[in-house]
């Protein structure tokens, strides 16, 4: 998606006027008629999610090009190694967190199965599919009741209660063939789909909250396969390499959570994706038993290095929190730009693969009415809306709304996303105006790309005569010592006016000390060279110089 720029051959007065209008310097008078205000603001964007780490649709696109899983994850997580690491430990998954009560019962998966064991303190009770067990928290303990044939029996209370069932690694006294455990909260029913678990065991843990005693319902499963079989993040119909890349990312994320320890509020390492932490979606038996679920199981098994190790993403020998997102606007977000914390393995990299037609979020449009946009910015009206700053990924960093009385307010891209419930901060244009240009990967059309480069010009695209300008950007994948040329269009020919080399993080910067003369229009771009050949170039940017007064 290329940004639109004015033709540099137009008369300077027209370009000057356009620059003033786009920058918000010229605004409607306070008495402007309501009819002159934009009735709607069409926000065209791309991607879905926070944009950090591995792009799932990007992994899909790379797999379609024949890349293997290790290559895919290595691309999205810079400065890492993709290696085998121990993963045979248990992880505690919060299935229900701080609920008033919970119920379980067993279900036969294989003929002869269905045995269930419930332990409350020193009491061990064995039942079958006809028995339902309920758990209610109180201060420091959990009470258990058994319902069979309409008869309710109190089984006592204890600091915790444990549920095991037949066909698992440690079934206790519940011997027999494969069985499922059906787990529901206070308002759910046993006969609804989902909430069935094949592996591990459950622990019911009371927790004190401001609302009183609540219950944490935790499934302990082995990371190696039991946990990963239940991860439901991508379709079972995707290419094998894309699913394997998802498995590797999910394993690394889980191992990092194990290393961080148990969270007291949920008695777990991570939740099942339904909150409050929004970790990975873990749906238990629903994933492998779904259509083509055997292909997902195959993908998990394909990433095993041994019976006790699996392939993961390591930084300095330690599994990292391998964040992932559905898709982006063509480049991933650096963690420091999205959340404020710089991570060496979560930098901005090329993601043009996620812009493929199969991804329905490769382009989206949100139409926001005038009144709604004014409310979002806390202004009486919005006469102009301009994207004034972008991150190296192209995601919006700042957007400014200007009212007809001249009042202007800015929001961060995240603030805009939150208030308008956008799919991502990758807003490409507003009513056709890109504002600060979006860097377009060289291979955005689908051709193989080895490198991309972004260019941001600031602090404004319409500097006053004599003011300075800064050019900043980043080469992806991040590489030190790469040649970057700043070029200017002169008489229809691109000429290099300055040369820099990239830092270790792939970033570069140029400074133009003075912008002269007033009314001049300059077309700029940056190109990346290796061995004298251009390997990437940015989108073009147009700078219009305004008079001092």
Q: Is residue 462 part of a domain?
A: yes
Q: Are residues 42 and 111 in the same domain?
A: no
Q: Are residues 40 and 99 in the same domain?
A: no
Q: Is residue 402 part of a domain?
A: yes
Half-sphere exposure of 85 (CA within 13 A, CB side): 22
Which residue range is the domain that position 163 belongs to? 93-222
Query: Quick one: pLDDT at residue 443?
Result: 44
Q: Is residue 73 part of a domain?
A: no
Residue 104 phi, psi (nearest 5):
-140, 155
Alpha-carbon distance 540 to 366, whole Å? 26
3-state secondary structure of 108: strand
Q: Are residues 43 and 192 in the same domain?
A: no
Alpha-carbon distance 281 to 55, whole Å? 16
Query: Quick one: pLDDT at residue 19?
Result: 36
Half-sphere exposure of 261 (CA within 13 A, CB side): 3
What six digits make up the tokens of 222?
A: 């082995």
Q: How far is CA 100 from the centre of its chain?
A: 31
Residue 65 phi, psi (nearest 5):
-85, 0
Count of CB atoms within 10 A of residue 104's CB? 24
Query: Quick one: pLDDT at residue 354?
Result: 94
Q: Are residues 35 and 121 in the same domain?
A: no
Q: Are residues 30 and 150 in the same domain?
A: no
Alpha-carbon distance 438 to 118, whole Å? 58
Q: Are residues 476 and 416 in the same domain?
A: yes
Looking at 222, 250, 271, the residue that finishes a domain is 222
Q: How far is CA 261 from the centre of its chain?
A: 23
Q: Is residue 316 part of a domain?
A: no
Alpha-carbon distance 125 to 116, whole Å? 8
Query: Quick one: pLDDT at residue 499?
Result: 92
Q: Are residues 389 and 528 in the same domain?
A: yes
Q: Are residues 414 and 500 in the same domain?
A: yes
pTM, two decimals, is 0.76
Strand pairing category for 493-501 and 507-512: unpaired
Q: Is residue 257 part of a domain?
A: no
Q: Is residue 490 part of a domain?
A: yes
Whether a cis peptide bond, with omega within 30° of 0, leads into 477 is yes
Q: Is residue 476 part of a domain?
A: yes
Give Rg (Cα) of the chain.
Answer: 28
CB 271 within 8 A of CB 182: no
Q: Are residues 20 and 108 in the same domain?
A: no
Note down pLDDT in tens along the chain; length 549 residues.
333 223 333 333 323 333 333 333 334 444 444 448 999 999 999 999 999 999 999 999 999 999 999 999 999 999 999 999 999 999 999 999 999 999 999 999 999 999 999 999 999 999 999 999 999 999 999 999 999 999 999 999 999 999 999 999 999 999 999 999 999 999 889 999 999 999 999 999 999 999 999 999 999 999 999 999 999 999 999 999 999 999 999 999 999 999 999 999 999 999 999 889 989 999 999 999 999 999 999 999 999 999 999 999 999 999 999 999 999 999 999 999 999 989 999 999 999 999 999 999 999 999 999 999 999 999 999 999 999 999 999 999 999 999 999 999 999 999 999 999 999 999 999 999 988 876 555 444 333 345 778 888 888 888 888 888 889 888 887 778 889 999 988 877 778 899 999 988 788 999 988 766 777 888 888 988 876 667 788 877 888 888 886
Q: Are residues 531 and 394 in the same domain?
A: yes
Q: Which helix H or strand E contains 90, and what residues bound it?
A: strand 90-99
* CATH number reported for the structural domain that contains residue 378 in this entry: 2.60.40.10
Q: Is residue 292 part of a domain?
A: no
User: Into how many domains does the chain fold?
Assistant: 2
Q: Are residues 44 and 111 in the same domain?
A: no
Alpha-carbon distance 246 to 254, whole Å? 12
Looking at 206, 222, 238, the residue that finishes a domain is 222
**Nearest to 28, CA basis, from 495, 379, 399:** 379
- What are 522's strand-pairing partners? 543
Q: Are residues 111 and 16 in the same domain?
A: no
């Amino acid at each position: 998606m290329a940004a639109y720029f004015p033709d540099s051959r137009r008369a300077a007065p027209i370009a000057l006027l356009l620059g003033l209008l786009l920058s918000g310097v010229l605004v409607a008078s306070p008495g402007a008629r309501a009819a002159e205000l934009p009735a709607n603001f069409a926000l065209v964007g791309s991607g879905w999610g926070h944009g950090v780490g591995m792009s799932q649709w990007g992994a899909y696109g790379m797999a379609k090009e024949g890349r293997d899983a290790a290559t895919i994850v290595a691309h999205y997580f810079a400065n890492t190694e993709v290696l085998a690491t121990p993963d045979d430990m248990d992880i505690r998954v919060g299935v229900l967190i701080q609920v008033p009560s919970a119920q379980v019962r067993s279900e036969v998966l294989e003929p002869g199965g269905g045995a269930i064991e419930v332990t409350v303190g020193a009491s061990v009770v064995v039942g079958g599919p006809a028995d339902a067990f309920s758990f209610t928290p109180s201060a420091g303990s959990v009470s258990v009741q058994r319902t069979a044939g309409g008869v309710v029996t109190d089984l006592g209370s204890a600091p915790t209660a444990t549920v095991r069932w037949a066909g698992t690694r440690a079934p206790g006294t519940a011997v027999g063939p494969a069985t499922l455990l059906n787990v529901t909260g206070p308002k759910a029913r046993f006969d609804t789909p989902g909430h069935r678990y094949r592996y591990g065991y459950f622990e019911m843990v009371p927790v004190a909250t401001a609302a009183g005693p609540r219950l944490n319902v935790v499934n302990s499963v082995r990371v190696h396969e039991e946990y990963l079989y239940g991860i439901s993040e991508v379709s079972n119909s995707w290419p094998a390499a894309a699913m394997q890349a998802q498995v590797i990312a999910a394993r690394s994320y889980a191992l990092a959570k194990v290393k961080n320890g148990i969270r007291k509020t949920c008695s777990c390492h991570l939740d099942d994706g339904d909150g409050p932490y929004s970790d990975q979606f873990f749906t238990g038996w629903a994933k492998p038993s779904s259509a083509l679920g055997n292909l997902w199981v195959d993908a998990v098994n394909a990433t095993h290095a041994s019976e006790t190790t699996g392939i993961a993403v390591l930084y300095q020998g330690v599994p990292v929190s391998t964040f992932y997102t559905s898709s982006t606007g063509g480049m991933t977000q650096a963690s420091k730009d999205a959340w404020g914390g710089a991570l060496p393995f979560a930098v901005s990299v090329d993601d043009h693969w996620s812009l493929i037609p199969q991804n329905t979020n490769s382009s989206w449009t949100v139409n926001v009415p005038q009144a709604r946009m004014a409310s979002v910015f806390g202004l009486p009206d919005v006469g102009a809306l301009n994207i004034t700053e972008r991150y190296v990924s192209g995601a919006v960093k700042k957007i400014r709304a200007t009212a007809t009385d001249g009042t202007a307010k800015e929001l961060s891209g995240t603030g805009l996303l939150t208030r308008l419930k956008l799919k991502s901060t990758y807003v490409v244009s507003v009513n056709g105006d890109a504002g600060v240009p979006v860097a377009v990967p060289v291979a955005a059309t689908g051709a193989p790309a080895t490198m991309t480069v972004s260019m941001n010009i600031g602090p404004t695209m319409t500097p006053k005569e004599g003011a300075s300008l800064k050019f900043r950007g980043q080469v992806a994948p991040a590489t030190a010592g790469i040649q970057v040329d700043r070029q200017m269009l002169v008489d229809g020919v691109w000429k290099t006016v300055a040369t820099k080399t990239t830092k270790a993080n792939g970033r570069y910067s140029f400074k133009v000390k003075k912008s002269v003369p007033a009314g001049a229009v300059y077309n700029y771009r940056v190109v990346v060279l290796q061995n004298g050949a251009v390997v990437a170039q940015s989108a073009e940017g147009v700078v219009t110089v305004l008079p001092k007064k």
